[in-house]
Structure 1
Amino acid sequence: MSRSLGERLARVVSANIGTIGGEARVEPLEQTDWASVTFTGARHRLRVTLDGEGAVGAAGDFLDKLPDLDLPIPGHIVADIAFVAEERGDNGRYAVLDLEALTIEDR
């Protein structure tokens, strides 16, 4: 499983974050190979950092649409993505979201 898969997943997630008056970045933190009897894939942990005016609102909007996101990655399917932790601060100008995702190879 390619390490760049986590980076591609981070780019696709980043493309789905709403506009804020500041910076938004998505970093792949961890990728672990995963397999079942019928599928091969990877588990991922991502960190979404929003910094600037409207960061907390943008984080909330993103989390609202997270279950329905279409996250296309050629050769892979994002089978599951879930919110696992959050940190907020600076009077609504800073938010960090940790996500976990499962990708499977699309054969």
Structure 2
Amino acid sequence: MSRGPDAGTLLTRALVAAAAADGVACAITDADWIRWASATFTGAQHRLTLSGAFTPALDDWLTALPDREFALPGHLVADLTILAMRASPDRIEAELQALTVEDR
């Protein structure tokens, strides 16, 4: 019996789907996560790199990303932060950090 996709896969899919729904073209070029736990919660800490052709729409989308809500089956996105953004005239790359918490 399969447990389904892990939190890292769900988060990656949600980010790509949100961008596509908003008409923004980008891709996750690197992603990694580690398990995380506190006294009351379990989840994962994520590091992702997102990149795409530089457009004002992508720049605006990235700027608003930390305030966006994501629906991940069995998980909540507790925090999403942009650690760094690098832009050139033709590309933009953002390093993201997120914390997901299991909702079970």
Give the alignment's TM-score, normalised by structure 2.
Answer: 0.82
Question: What's the counterpart of residue 32 of structure 2?
Answer: 30
Q: Report the Cα distance in structure 2 between the residues aligned to 1:83 and 1:56, rounded to whole angstroms.
A: 18
In the alignment, the residues of structure 1 paired with residue 9 and residue 63 of structure 2 have an alpha-carbon distance, to the nearest angstrom, of 23
Identity %: 35
Structure 1, unaligned runs of 5 or more: none
> 5 Å matches for 1:63-74?
63-74=62-73
Aligned length: 99
1:44 is aligned to 46
CA apart distance, 1:66: 1.3
Which TM-score applies when normalising by structure 1?
A: 0.80
1:95 to 89, 92, 96: 92
Amino acid at match of 1:67: P
Shift of 1:24: 1.4
Q: What's the RMSD between the two structures over aligned residues? A: 1.9
> 5+ residue gaps in structure 2?
none
